[in-house]
Structure 1
């Protein structure tokens, strides 16, 4: 029997498959996004009709059996967007996030970079989309993310060189967790500086974890570790609706290259 829920509230993903979608829902509205992130789930829109059809072909049986729920209105096509909550979950403890020694040395000696918070949110999101394949940052998703930024839930860190945006990261602040959606760089190391800067600002606001969503060597090089989905959800549930503003000043990136941050 197909399991359909009106919304994300109360969805328990702890028993879901560790490496597949935990739900399907076409609802990418700001309210749906925020509710999904608060229960530990993030979206991956299909980039084209082939991917949407593949979702249905591969997972329709599990949906029919009730192992993967559908969320939202019956009239909407759920297979256009899959929603994920991987187990284990890659996270960056804010106190352990660091730059490599070589990048820290470059910042100290010659890179005149600066960092900011929320100075160019949509610019960071669109730079993250770029020409990447698959194109999961759809126009609809970007519009909802920009609205969540306007409401104070979504934030970006920017890295600048002589007034040019050369790197950044963005995501949603969920109490003691910041869920990072994507990052980009136009200079080697700029995305790593953005994440390290975010960790410092978030720690000052009482934050504990940066959620990397998907594991990679890039995440591991910054101090990323894997935790169980249960551990992640437990941390998220503790303070998911409580957020303290992060420091917003534009600052020299060289401050991140002090011995405590150089790893």
Structure 2
């Protein structure tokens, strides 16, 4: 275990700020990345030097006072990666993903789309990164995610239309949760289908929740409900451990 991973193992985020980063840690190696997710946080790297400077200017005092965690001896570069642990935490129970009646009906009446899991992880991450502002899916983070995927700890779900990737989502698996980092769709509702498909596959693997990280009307429409951070962290620490989601190709019509 790396030194940063050992540091993360001792970090307790129950009393972290609800309106500021819970921690700053620039180490995005795969061990540290997984340890951060296990602690209940997710990373938002600064996309440029200005964002790094803004993090330092806004939060340096809280880090110095110990309100925001940081590894011992962390310098100004630590402010390049903010780790968040919102309270409340928006989550989608694996039995609670919503398609909406219109989309469910359309899926039932069509066999155009199929889904898989972990068949095109790198391409899903690349599509999620394309054109996003701020560009938080940095090269270092993407490399660490690829490493975790190779270890069987980061997963993707893909939506296909006649062999073309038209939607997807990806995240990191910790305990009974997949922390859902991002999603994309180049067809209407393809991202929504990806989330519903991943929820079903995670349920089959013994999982309980998709953590959608940031609350918004959009994630509420997908079935997300706010859960107190303390409950979410307790589940990570003491809940069952899910296995990897099954990956075989399936018709999306089954979700309707």
Query: Conserved in 1, the CA contact under 8 Å of 2:175 and 2:237?
Result: no
SS of 1:77 mapped into structure 2: helix
For the 8 Å contact 2:87–2:228, the answer to whether it is kept is yes
* Structure 1 match to 2:153: 153
Number of equivalent positions: 253
- Give the 4+ runs in structure 1 shifted more than 2 A: 71-76
Specify the alignment match of 2:252 in structure 1: 253
Cα distance between partner residues in 1 of 2:73 and 2:152 = 27
**If the length of structure 1 is used for normalisation, what is the TM-score?**
0.92
Give the Cα–Cα distance (whole angstroms) in 2 for the partners of residues 111 and 82 of structure 1. 42
Which residue of 2 is the match for residue 237 of structure 1? 237
Name structure 2 gaps, 5 residues minimum: none
The answer for the alignment partner of 1:211 in structure 2 is 211
TM-score of the pair, normalised by structure 2: 0.95
* Cα 1:118–1:31 shift into 2, 3 Å: same
Deviations 1:37-61 (A, max 9, x none): 0010110000111100000000111
* Aligned equivalents of 1:132, 1:79: Cα separation in 2: 21
**Comparing 108-117 and 173-182, the one that deviates more:** 108-117
> Is contact 1:177–1:236 with CA below 8 Å preserved after alignment?
yes
Within a 5 Å distance, the mapping from 1:67-216 to structure 2 comes to 67-71=67-71, 74=74, 77-110=77-110, 112-216=112-216
Structure 1, unaligned stretches of length 5 or more?
A: 258-263
Task: Quote the RMSD (CA, aligned, Å).
Answer: 1.6
Q: 2: distance between equivalents of 1:189 and 1:218?
A: 12
